[in-house]
Amino acid sequence: MSPVDGTPRRRRLRDRVPVRLRHHWKPAGALCAGLAVMLYAFGDARISPYVTSASRVEADTITENVGGTVGLYDTAVRHSIQLEYNQTDFDKMMKEFKKDGTKDSIPADLTIDGVYLRDVGIRLKGNSTLRSLQGTGGMPGGGGGGMPGEGGGQNGFPGAGEAGGGAQPPGGGQAAGGAPTTGGGQAAGGAPTTGGGQAAGGGQAAGGAPTGGGRAGGGGMTQYNLSADKPEELPWLIKIDEYVEGRAYQGEREISLRPGAGAQVPVNEALALSLIDGTGEPAERYGFSTLKVNNRPAAVRLMVENPDTEYAEAVEGESVVYKARAGGTFAYQGDDPSKYETSFRQLNKVGSQDLEPVMKLTKWVENSSDEEFSADLGKYVDVDSFAHYVATQNLLMNFDDMAGPGKNYLLGYDLNTKKFSVLGWDYNLTFSGDAAAGPDDEMSMGGGGGGRPGGQAGQDGGQTGEAPQGMPDMANMPEMPDGAGAPGAAGDDGPQAAGRGGGMSGHALKERFLGLDAFDAVYKKAYQDLYEKFFASGKATKALKDLAEQTERAGVPAKDVETAVGTLRTTVTSRTTALAKNKEVTG
């Protein structure tokens, strides 16, 4: 109370401060002063989050694993998939995709091999594969339209000449019926050919599908005319856990239905996966299945294991796996991890590991001299494994690998050895290059055998860095924008165009590895070993016979099976013969 009038006395400011703080005001004051100085000095600095935990546990676990009547990827049985969805949802999805390339999921009910799963997610898969859905035409592997600044070739082949019907095909020569050819020559029946000359093995595929594959014929270069009116032929990604968290089907969260149906079912991709399996390199599992969508007719499709968390966890050793994004780059972009998220997606151990190993790798590859690269690559990369990967891509005639416009590769970082390995995926453009290409030749669309960096030019001409004859010079093209559906963006299932340079293709790690003599011996050794396993042993021929039985069992008519497999058999035979004459391959 106040001694004068008896009113309550107001507390002094110092009395309002807690007693303990009053007793220790000096340390508290020093702390506040220090924070003020740091705020003034570093207030505009970026703070980059780094994961420092050594934990290797994957937090996103499967809580509901639905079993099945037969193994999902058992190639000895006939599979069936049925999708049922609301047509309004589908129409909205297609409208948004055509507008801006958005690929959102919609709910659907899935019945797979007799097992019913309610509310899975389905979405369109791929970028350039889907271009024909946007009204921009298509190109081999599903791309479409001309390159920026170029007139689109007929049927969507990029190129030279006038846009629209009657365009002059890249590489000279117009095919019968006005269809374009690449590398010259006329296709039997008017079908486009790739790599020159008349299509081997009968020319035109069933349904007017183009054949390809250099002078050997083809099996990989296929143009898909996709339509919203035929959803059973669209490339789909089925997401088992999209609306039910933690759910999987036989341990799989995602199933990919690859482009191509019936006679155009991609037997070449199945062949590539069959050959890789058992060589020590991870290979996605696959199977042929009928697909029925709502009340539409059924179509035979290739279903393939999609690289996801479980696929990454199955990689040998304790590894973190990073998936390269189609619109990304293998370039050092500083020490901010967020800068790399548009180029790589971490598939597993999210929350316990981060992108720092990738950042360090890109920095070293970019800044190291040739001497340092030759001496120290083994500190960063499993050299034997990498040689195995590079040799595999050449032997399977796959131009759309880690150096291709689709950026189709994974980086596996072993937490024990602290080394990277490169893993392949998406092989729908295999067996599409020059069947005579050797270990020093570079694969490219159209079969041009551009020379290995520092090596000889390919057999069909074309020096290192050149696009196939008649194709735009990609080294002088502007870098394409990132993002699914962006004009010119390469996709999961096929590129827009071939070539090296620009922002669409090329990879410093692969190019430096092949260009330096230090790694010639390990690369050639891997090449010779894999040649024996793939071709000299007869494995490729046997695998094709088995694949013919699988596709016919799935429901493809026998005549269509022979069309699809016959052309690919011609390519395999030519590839085997050419490699057997190459002394660098046979030793």
Structure tokens at 18: 């807690």
Greater model confidence, 468 or 438: 438
pLDDT in tens, 525-541: 999 999 999 999 999 99
pLDDT in tens, 123-159: 999 877 888 887 655 444 433 333 333 333 333 333 3
The residue type at 171: G
CA–CA dist 270, 272 (Å, integer): 5
Is the pLDDT at 342 greater than 80, yes or no?
A: yes
Cβ(204)–Cβ(189) under 8 Å? yes
CA–CA dist 486, 489 (Å, integer): 5
Query: Residues 61-65: contacts with CB within 8 Å, 24+ apart?
Result: 61/246, 62/246, 62/247, 62/248, 62/251, 62/253, 62/310, 63/245, 63/246, 63/247, 64/244, 64/246, 64/247, 64/248, 65/247, 65/248, 65/249, 65/250, 65/251
pLDDT in tens, 40-93: 555 554 444 444 333 344 546 889 999 999 999 999 999 999 999 999 999 999
- Beta bridge mates, 166: none
Indicate the average pLDDT of the chain: 75
Cβ(144)–Cβ(156) under 8 Å? yes
Least confident residue range of 199-208, 251-260, 281-290, 371-380: 199-208
The conformational region for residue 203 under phi > 0 = left, psi -120 to 50 = alpha, else beta, is left
Q: What is the SS3 assignment for 313? A: helix
Q: What angle do CA 494, 499, 504 make, to 5 degrees?
A: 60
Structure tokens at 134: 């946007």
pLDDT of the residue at 483:
35
Q: Please give the DSSP secondary-structure letter assigned to residue 405.
A: T
Mention every residue, 6+ apart, whose C-beta is less than 8 A from residue 99: none
- The greatest distance separating any two alpha carbons of the chain, rounded to the nearest whole angstrom, comes to 117
Is the pLDDT at 178 greater than 90, yes or no?
A: no
CA–CA dist 417, 428 (Å, integer): 32
Distances from the Cα of 501 to the Cα of 310, 317, 399, 472, 476, angstroms: 34, 34, 14, 11, 8
Strand duo 247-249 + 64-66: pairing: parallel
pLDDT of the residue at 406:
87
Give which of 449, 446, 505 is closest to 471, Cα–Cα. Answer: 446
Is the pLDDT at 504 greater than 70, yes or no?
A: no
Distances from the Cα of 151 to the Cα of 6, 100, 132, angstroms: 96, 22, 16
Q: Find where tokens 């599409």 sit.
A: 432
Give which of 357, 358, 235 is closest to 306, Cα–Cα. Answer: 235
Greater model confidence, 390 or 457: 390
Mention every residue, 6+ apart, whose C-beta is less than 8 A from residue 192: 140, 155, 157, 169, 175, 179, 180, 181, 182, 210, 211, 212, 223
Q: Please give the DSSP secondary-structure letter assigned to residue 214.
A: G
Q: Please give the DSSP secondary-structure letter assigned to residue 59.
A: S
CA–CA dist 162, 152 (Å, integer): 7
Structure tokens at 147: 């390159």
Q: Find where tokens 């689109």 sit.
A: 152
Greater model confidence, 520 or 190: 520
Give which of 401, 359, 394 is closest to 380, Cα–Cα. Answer: 359
pLDDT in tens, 369-398: 999 999 999 999 999 999 999 999 999 999
pLDDT of the residue at 9:
46
CA–CA dist 505, 403 (Å, integer): 5
Least confident residue range of 30-39, 163-172, 440-449: 163-172
CA–CA dist 108, 234 (Å, integer): 15
Structure tokens at 293: 């969508």
